[in-house]
């Protein structure tokens, strides 16, 4: 199915491979950065071999991105089976180019030929109604309804509750010599905030978190049958839970997103319950996973930079600038796939045929030296903004205002409350390159 995360090529080679010329290992933020062992790029054919499960890559993908920037034009990434684009200018253009979409749509904006196996029936049934996997006119209809839940009148009042939650979590590990900020701060904060906005209570947070992790694992490279089985079970459980939550809100409406979507559903049938449930699950998954990762990546970036963390968050304007640099410097989402809806010729004469995918490497675009001065330097004072971390075009992240508010408030409370915070152990990144986040972020808070 075109919306699956990866299509693996057969890897057949008829040419000799050699590494693209590289610079010596670089010292960035006190760490040595080198190319991963599996990286091989043939400049003549512009074909890349790079294993996304190579620990040298997913722990630090930026040397590989730098090599792609030096290579210039798009390359064909064998393991992904499609063109990979690292240039900021081209990524930004293709995110907005209506000749590309998330799927090959029929006249309604749904997939042309959804062939779903029985083993993935529940998971892909949700995908078929997911806002992220649709095109106009269905996408337009759903997004216009959901976007009402993310207007400023709903988001701005959350600041006080985010601050209170952050303070309570920080108080919860007061006096401890070391703490994992991913488990003890980023995760409970992000889950509680999006659950509150959607209209879900706190009792099912642990279940929702486990279901989300299982479903998101479907998009990793080289997924196994056990990963697929876990995602299928999680999708069924999450679907049933959300149907129950919708039924409860039908009986007892509130000032939340579920109630808002129920009201929209009753207006001339503009939203079916299956669409509603799929949309709510997408928002829960995306609304906490990315925020957890960005909080962890952001704290890591600040602590490794050697900059004065509390000073970076001393005033709201400083906090906003620092968060924008955090989003650019080490974004969670590194891959966004687009499908050509027609034959397209890219700059440099590169041809993309209808139905072929392109891999937009958002993390690479945010480190493009043609767009950002000293791109590997964490610099909250920079003036050359314009990261692509939230995408662009009709699939621009709906939750961007909420994500920005959460990051600003959570990091302000964290660095102001813990001015002597420092790393207590080297951070380790999850084996999930496309959705980059930390397994643990162990800090000494005091």
pLDDT in tens, 321-335: 999 999 999 999 999
Q: Name, in order, each residue with C-beta under 8 angstroms of 169's C-beta and a sequence gap of 6 or more.
A: 184, 185, 188, 189
What is the sign of the dihedral through the CA atoms of 70, 72, 74 and 76? negative
| Fold exhibited by the domain 26-444 | Cytochrome p450 (1.10.630)
- Check residue 18 and give its pLDDT: 38
Q: Which residues of the chain have pLDDT under 70?
A: 1-33, 108-119, 202-204, 266-269
Predicted structure pTM score: 0.88
> pLDDT value at position 117?
56
* Sheet containing 179-180, strands listed edge to edge, beginning at the edge strand earlier in sequence: 179-180, 442-444, 422-423
Among 102, 132, 94, residue whose Cα is nearest residue 365: 94
Report d(CA 311, CA 95) in Å as an integer. Answer: 35
- pLDDT score at 82: 95
The pLDDT of residue 22: 42
Say how far apart CA 80 and CA 430 lie, in whole Å: 19
Q: How many CB atoms neighbour CB 9 within 10 A? A: 15
Cα distance between residue 57 and residue 59, in whole Å = 5
Going from N- to C-terminal start, the domains of the chain cover 26-444
Q: Could you give phi then psi for residue 110, rounded to 5 degrees?
A: -100, 170
55 burial type by CB count under 10 A (0-12 exposed, 13-18 middle, 19+ buried): middle
């Amino acid at each position: 199915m075109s919306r699956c995360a990866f299509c693996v090529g057969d890897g057949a080679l008829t040419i000799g491979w050699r590494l693209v010329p590289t610079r010596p290992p670089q010292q960035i933020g006190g760490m040595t950065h080198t190319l991963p062992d599996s990286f091989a790029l043939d400049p003549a054919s512009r074909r890349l071999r790079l294993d996304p499960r190579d620990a040298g890559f997913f722990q630090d993908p930026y040397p590989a991105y730098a090599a792609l920037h030096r290579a210039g034009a798009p390359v064909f990434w064998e393991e992904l089976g499609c063109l990979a684009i690292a240039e900021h200018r081209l990524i930004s253009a293709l995110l907005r180019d209506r000749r590309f979409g998330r799927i090959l749509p029929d006249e309604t904006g749904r997939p042309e030929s959804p062939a779903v196996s029985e083993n993935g029936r529940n998971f892909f049934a949700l995908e078929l109604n997911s806002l992220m996997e649709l095109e106009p006119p269905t996408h337009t209809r759903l997004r216009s309804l959901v976007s009402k839940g993310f207007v400023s009148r709903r988001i701005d009042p959350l600041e006080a509750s985010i601050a209170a939650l952050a303070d309570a979590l920080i108080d919860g590990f007061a006096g401890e010599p070391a703490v994992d900020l991913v488990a003890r701060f980023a995760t409970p904060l992000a889950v509680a905030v999006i659950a509150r906005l959607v209209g879900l209570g706190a009792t099912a947070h642990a279940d929702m978190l486990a279901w989300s992790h299982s479903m998101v694992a479907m998009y990793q490279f080289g997924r196994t049958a056990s990963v697929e089985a876990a995602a299928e079970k999680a999708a069924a459980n999450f679907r049933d839970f959300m149907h129950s939550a919708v039924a409860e809100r039908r009986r007892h409406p509130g000032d939340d997103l579920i109630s808002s979507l129920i009201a929209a559903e009753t207006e001339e049938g503009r939203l079916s319950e299956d669409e509603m449930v799929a949309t709510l699950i997408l928002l829960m998954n995306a609304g906490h996973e990315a925020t957890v990762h960005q909080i962890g990546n952001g704290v890591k970036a600040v602590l490794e930079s050697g900059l004065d963390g509390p000073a970076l968050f001393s005033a709201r304007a400083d906090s906003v600038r620092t968060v924008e640099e955090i989003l650019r410097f080490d974004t969670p989402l590194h891959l966004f796939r687009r499908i050509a809806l027609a034959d397209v010729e890219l700059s440099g004469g590169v041809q993309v045929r209808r139905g072929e995918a392109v891999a937009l490497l958002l993390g690479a675009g945010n480190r493009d030296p043609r767009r950002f001065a000293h791109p590997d330097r964490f610099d909250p004072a920079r003036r050359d903004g314009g990261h692509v971390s939230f995408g662009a075009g009709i699939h621009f992240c709906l939750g961007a205002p909420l994500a920005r508010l959460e990051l600003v408030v959570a990091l302000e409370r964290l660095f102001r409350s813990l001015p002597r915070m420092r790393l207590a152990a080297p951070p380790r990144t999850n084996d999930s390159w496309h959705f980059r986040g930390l397994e643990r972020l162990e800090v000494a808070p005091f």
